[in-house]
């Protein structure tokens, strides 16, 4: 039996800038770090948190929509995370804007580990009409 | 007093080119990247059918966050992890999809320097092109290089 999707259908017009999400926590394992490093082909890659997409994780827990495409992403490095530590993420809606008739949402998130070390900050601009990719760039 | 315990001292000049970074994108790499965060379900990155439904493309694409990781790698190699991992930034706009089979080349050029309290902020213009010469991403990275990593006359 398929569970009903109880998430809120996104209404871009009524989405409030400044809306904050529940803190998201996860344990960063050595396996996560190793797999990330293989994926990016960089044995010294220091911020496996990038692949966790923590800035949009809680948004996607609260809202459902037609999907999204990452249009822009800014990342601020403070301290590389340490495997075995629990990481807490605070995320919020930082902005939204309309450009060339397309809707964008900007999410921002800050990650801190269990010892209070500031890890990183990420700001992502997501285009909420993902089929524009196929229309513009074809197959 | 010597500068024991710090990394290499380097002079940065506007116009300096960074060593380029080349990455060959594969579906396996994309799957590893997506899977590293425990994401196991189909997505536009890992599954052709989902990509077709969500994006309208014939195949999968790589997350822009992979290009972000590569651009960060280029700057970390250039500035050193002691500097970049603690005071580095990257801001990329994704202009074209990157697909499995693409070879993408990251280039960087120093565009400016400004004084900070404990060092100098070095700004780098970033360009990413695929094997056809199309720009897939562009943006700017920065690193605040501490005084201990700069020549004493700067």
Q: CB-based contact (8 Å) between A20 and chain B?
A: no
Contact flag B69-A53 (C-beta cutoff 8 Å): no
In a domain, A47, yes or no: yes
In a domain, B102, yes or no: yes
Of A67, A70, A135, the CB nearest to B54: A67
Q: CB-based contact (8 Å) between B73 and chain A?
A: yes
Q: Which residues does chain A have within 8 Å of residue B63's beta carbon, measured at their own beta carbons?
A: 51, 53, 70
Average pLDDT, chain B: 92
pLDDT digits (tens, 9 = 90+) for B17-59: 999 999 999 999 999 999 998 877 889 999 999 999 999 998 9
In a domain, A10, yes or no: no
Q: CB-based contact (8 Å) between A104 and chain B?
A: no
How would residue A137 be classed by pLDDT, with cut points 50, 70 and 90? confident
Q: What is the mean pLDDT of residues A17-28?
A: 96
CATH code for the domain in which residue B106 is found: 3.10.129.10
CATH code for the domain in which residue A98 is found: 3.10.129.10
Instruction: Label each residue of B110-147 as H, E or C.
Output: EEEEEEECCEEEEEEEEEEECCCCCEEEEEEEEEEEEH
- Alpha-carbon span A118 to A107, nearest angstrom: 18
Whether the per-residue pLDDT at B5 is higher than 90: the answer is no
Q: Structurally, how many domains does chain B consist of?
A: 1
In a domain, B1, yes or no: no
In a domain, B3, yes or no: no
The predicted structure's pLDDT at residue B107: 98
The predicted structure's pLDDT at residue A138: 75
Beta-sheet strands, E only, within chain B: 21-24, 88-94, 103-116, 119-129, 135-146
DSSP-based three-state secondary structure for B34: helix
In a domain, A90, yes or no: yes
In a domain, B4, yes or no: no
Q: What is the pTM of this model?
A: 0.94
In a domain, A100, yes or no: yes
Q: Which residues does chain A have within 8 Å of residue B70's beta carbon, measured at their own beta carbons?
A: 40, 42
In a domain, A109, yes or no: yes
Of A32, A39, A71, the CB nearest to B94: A71
Q: A92 lies in which domain range?
A: 15-137
């Amino acid at each position: 039996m398929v569970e009903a999707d109880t998430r809120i259908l996104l209404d871009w017009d009524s989405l409030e800038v400044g809306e904050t999400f529940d803190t998201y926590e996860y344990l960063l394992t050595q396996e996560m770090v190793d797999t990330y490093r293989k994926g990016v082909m960089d044995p010294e890659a220091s911020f496996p948190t990038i692949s966790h997409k923590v800035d949009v994780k809680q948004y996607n827990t609260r809202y459902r929509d037609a999907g999204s495409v990452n249009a822009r992403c800014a990342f601020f490095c403070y301290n590389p995370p340490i495997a075995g530590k629990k990481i807490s993420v605070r995320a919020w809606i930082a902005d939204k804007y309309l450009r060339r008739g397309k809707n964008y949402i900007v999410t921002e998130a800050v990650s801190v580990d269990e010892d209070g070390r500031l890890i990183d900050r990420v700001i992502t601009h997501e285009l909420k009409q993902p089929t524009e990719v196929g229309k513009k760039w074809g197959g | 007093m010597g500068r024991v315990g710090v990394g290499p001292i380097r002079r940065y000049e506007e116009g300096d080119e960074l060593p380029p970074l080349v990455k060959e994108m594969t579906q396996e790499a994309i799957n590893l990247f997506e899977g590293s965060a425990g994401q196991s379900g189909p997505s536009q990155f890992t599954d052709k059918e989902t990509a077709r439904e969500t994006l309208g493309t014939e195949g999968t694409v790589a997350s822009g966050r992979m290009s972000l990781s590569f651009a960060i790698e280029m700057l970390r190699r250039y500035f050193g992890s002691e500097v970049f991992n603690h005071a580095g930034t990257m801001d990329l706009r994704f202009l074209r999809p990157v697909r499995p089979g693409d070879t993408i080349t990251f280039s960087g050029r120093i565009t400016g320097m400004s004084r900070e309290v404990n060092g100098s902020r070095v700004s780098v213009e970033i360009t990413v092109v695929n094997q056809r010469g199309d720009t897939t991403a562009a943006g700017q990275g920065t690193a605040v290089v501490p005084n201990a990593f700069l020549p004493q006359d700067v």
